[in-house]
Amino acid sequence: MTVSDPVVESVIATISRSATEIRQGLIGRRGTVDEENPSGETQVEADVWADELLGDRLAAIDGVGQYASEERAEVEDCGGDPAMADVYAVAVDPLDGSSNLKSNNAMGTIFGVYDAALPARGETLVAAGYILYGPITTMVLATEDSVTEYELTGGERTVVQRDVRLPDEPVVYGFGGRVPDWPDDFQEYAREIEQELKLRYGGAMIGDVNQVLTYGGIFGYPGLESRPEGKLRLQFEGNPIGYIVERAGGRSSDGERSLLAVDPDDLHDRTPVHVGNEELIDRLEDLIA
């Protein structure tokens, strides 16, 4: 599938072509640097490197008016106002789950193409996707009308599944954060779910969400007692994943409403993130609202 808008297609082609290179470049970049990202988390060498690589390439695309990433404080102005026709803003989590580099477990790259200046509502996304660096490098791409899974080799992307849909019968769940730090209502919900589904939690949202897309179920990183806003970032993680799961027939929620309807205050806002089969998200909202 190619996307009809040439700018959006260029963004997707640039990220998918860069993925093999990013995967290769992880070697030798597993150590931490002496810096924190704007969310106050220790950066790994590969976080900084992947951000620079993607930032340089995406900013060079005509029609990309803004670039923003989890790893830099401010939105980069790339020449062009996303309020204008055919100008977009791209928000990226260059490496999702980069703490998994140390233990050599799955990781990802997440991106959202917004038709609005950042920070923006998820409803303004025109495309979103993620790369999963698993045993195979894959990309899941959602656009207005469909979700497609690709395998990436060299610079090529090969379709492996068109029209990806969440299976009707959910099988897996994964919830982030420490159990004693979960609010009572979320604990109650989790107790129910663990009677019904199998636990899959790998410490990289992309790996865990891909399990949900493949088998059906729910991924959640709830608001915590110690941090009611949760851990994950709305612009770089919550919105793109919410968009993908909703396009695949599922639901997303911050606990009360679709993630795509959340109004951002700040580029690095955090939000509780829940995505999965509709019925499971409905039940969650009933219990914790």
Residue among 5, 51, 96, 208 that touches Mg ion (CB under 5 A): 96
Q: How far is the CB of 206 from ligand FBP (least distance, A)?
A: 6
Cα–Cα distance, 205 to 41 (Å, whole number): 16
Q: How far is the CB of 240 from ligand FBP (least distance, A)?
A: 12
Choose from ligand FBP, Mg ion, none: what does 221 bind? Cβ within 5-8 Å by kind: ligand FBP
**Closer Cβ to ligand FBP, 150 or 175, answer by number:** 175
- Touching ligand FBP, residues 51-90 (CB under 6 A): 70
- Touching Mg ion, residues 44-83 (CB under 5 A): 70
Choose from Mg ion, ligand FBP, none: what does 231 bind? Cβ within 5-8 Å by kind: ligand FBP
Residue 16, annotated ligand binder? no
CB nearest Mg ion: which residue? 96
Residue 231, annotated ligand binder? yes
DSSP result, 50-102: HHHHHHHHHHTSTTEEEEEETTSSSPEE-SS-TTSTT-EEEEEEEEETTTHHH
Environment class of 118 (CB within 10 Å of its CB; exposed 0-12, middle 13-18, buried 19+): buried
- Is 221 among the residues that bind ligand FBP (CB under 6 A)? yes
Q: b vs e for 74-89, b when ≥16 Cβ sit within 10 Å of the residue's Cβ?
A: ebbebebebeeeebbb
Cα–Cα distance, 83 to 279 (Å, whole number): 36
x/- track of binding to ligand FBP for residues 97-136 (CB under 6 A):
xxx-------------------------------------
Q: Are 225 and 177 in contact (CB under 8 A)?
A: no
Q: How far is the CB of 84 from ligand FBP (least distance, A)?
A: 30
Return the SS3 of 47. helix
Residue among 41, 52, 86, 185 that touches ligand FBP (CB under 6 A): 41
Residue 128 in tokens: 């979103």
**Closer Cβ to ligand FBP, 41 or 86, answer by number:** 41
Cα–Cα distance, 276 to 250 (Å, whole number): 5
Return the SS3 of 171. coil
Q: Which residues bind ligand FBP (CB under 6 A)?
A: 41, 70, 93, 96-99, 176-177, 203-205, 221, 231
Q: Which residues bind Mg ion (CB under 5 A)?
A: 70, 93, 95-96
